[in-house]
A and B are shown apart, each in its own frame.
Chain A
Amino acid sequence: MSHVLHKVTNYMTIFWWLAGLTVVEVGYSSLLPHEHKAALILGLVGFATIKASLVALYFMHLRFERKSLGIIVTSTLILGCILVGVGIAEHLLPRP
């Protein structure tokens, strides 16, 4: 039988961060004029990334897991970013 040591997180602090960021996100989206598309997308994607990272790191305990598991998850995320990035690039890059 083996033992793994890791920290107990203050889950309620994470919860309030997630709830607060959701309110900020909705406010940001409704208050910012939709002509400022780049600022809107960058801001909202930034908020969503922070929230998703909080869930993965603290609720899924990824922060306290072994490095090998982190490598598996990170490689999947990189592949996912490539998949979306190639799709977006097809529309952004000039056609021959």
Chain B
Amino acid sequence: MEARAAVLVHERFDEETSTGIPHDKMGMWVFLCSEVMFFTGLIGSYIVLRFASPFWPQPSTVLNVPLTAVNTFILICSSVTMVQALAGIRAGNPAKMKLFLSLTLLFGAIFLSIQGVEYWKLLHEHTRHYPHGFNPHASLFGSVFFTTTGFHGFHVFCGVVCIAFVTGKALLGKYTQASHQGIETIGLYWHFVDLVWIVLFTIIYLI
């Protein structure tokens, strides 16, 4: 059974490489390493500014934690559907791949929509701490919040565009059990975006 933990599968490479890893996959990993440093810079700045700032509101008093927790769950769901799409084509089941790629696209779009709603509410709702709305000009917290989550949102948007492209190719029957590297490569990017959100949700919303 495919979902069991101890089943072995074969992953076939169409070309030999000096590293033993397909070039596009290796390229994506190197790109993701540069992205790790990019987000580390943003997260590091957030931590340093928070330590240094004499006034920093408790995030749960400003941000909508329950709504974002639901959004986190949606992004986790999209990661599972992405990996199931890859498992589907590896098992020679293109119908499963198409279904799960479409679901991943849907979950990605829902995540962005909910983030848009959250931004709109933060910008327009007047609270005790922020009588003119919580925006990048309101405070240091506002500035780093919108910069960090905004850059992540942009990455999700890019991922959704790429997954839309891959889903289109999948629907046209361009991927086979022997040749499906595009799905694995964009899958790596998508899981990375999910991983970064897991860290951001904890540091920005919960701590």
CB proximity to B under 8 Å, residues A41-96: 41, 44-45, 47-48, 51-52, 55-56, 58-60, 65-66, 68-69, 72-73, 76-77, 79-80, 83-84, 87-88, 90-92
A79 to B58, CA, bound (A): 29
Contacts of A5 in B (CB 8 A): 8-11
B16 CB to closest chain A CB (Å) equals 6
- CB contacts (< 8 Å) of A6 on chain B: these are 8-9, 11
Supplied contacts A10-B3, A68-B19, A73-B29, 16 more A-B pairs, CB within 8 Å: A3-B11, A5-B8, A7-B5, A7-B8, A10-B5, A44-B206, A52-B195, A55-B79, A56-B191, A59-B191, A66-B19, A76-B33, A84-B40, A88-B47, A88-B48, A88-B51
- Chain B hits for A2, CB < 8 A: 12-13, 16, 20
Do A22 and B4 contact each other (CB < 8 Å), given the known contacts A11-B83, A51-B198, A55-B194? no
Give complex CA distance A65, B202 in Å: 28
Check A73 against B33 for contact (C-beta < 8 Å): yes
Give A7-45 interface residues, CB cut-off 8 Å to B: 7-15, 18-19, 22-23, 25-26, 29-30, 34, 40-41, 44-45
Interface residues of chain A, those whose CB is within 8 Å of chain B, are 1-15, 18-19, 22-23, 25-26, 29-30, 34, 40-41, 44-45, 47-48, 51-52, 55-56, 58-60, 65-66, 68-69, 72-73, 76-77, 79-80, 83-84, 87-88, 90-92
Chain B 43-85 interface mask (CB, 8 Å, partner A; 1/0): 1110110011000001010000110010011001101101110
Residue numbers in B under 8 Å from A80 (CB-CB): 36-37, 40
Contact present for A11 and B202 (CB under 8 Å): no
Q: Judge whether B166 is part of the interface by a CB distance below 8 angstroms.
A: no
Chain B residues lying within 8 Å of A15, measured Cβ to Cβ, are 76-77, 80
Judging by beta carbons under 8 Å apart, are B83 and A48 in contact? no
Cβ–Cβ contact B40 & A83, under 8 A: yes
Measured CB to CB, the closest approach of chain B to A68, in angstroms, equals: 6
Q: How far is the CB of A73 from chain B (nearest CB, A)?
A: 7
**In whole angstroms, what is the CA distance A47 to B140 when docked?**
27
In the complex formed, the residue of A with least CB distance to B65 is A26
| Chain A minimum-CB-distance residue to B33 | A76
Instruction: Report which of A13, A41, A69, A91 forms a contact with B52, defined as CB distance below 8 A.
Output: A91
- Give Cα distance in the complex from A13 to B202, angstroms: 22
Do the beta carbons of A60 and B44 come within 8 Å of each other? Answer: no
Could you write out 12 A-B pairs with CB less than 8 Å apart? A2-B16, A4-B10, A15-B76, A15-B80, A48-B199, A52-B199, A55-B79, A59-B194, A72-B29, A79-B37, A80-B37, A87-B48
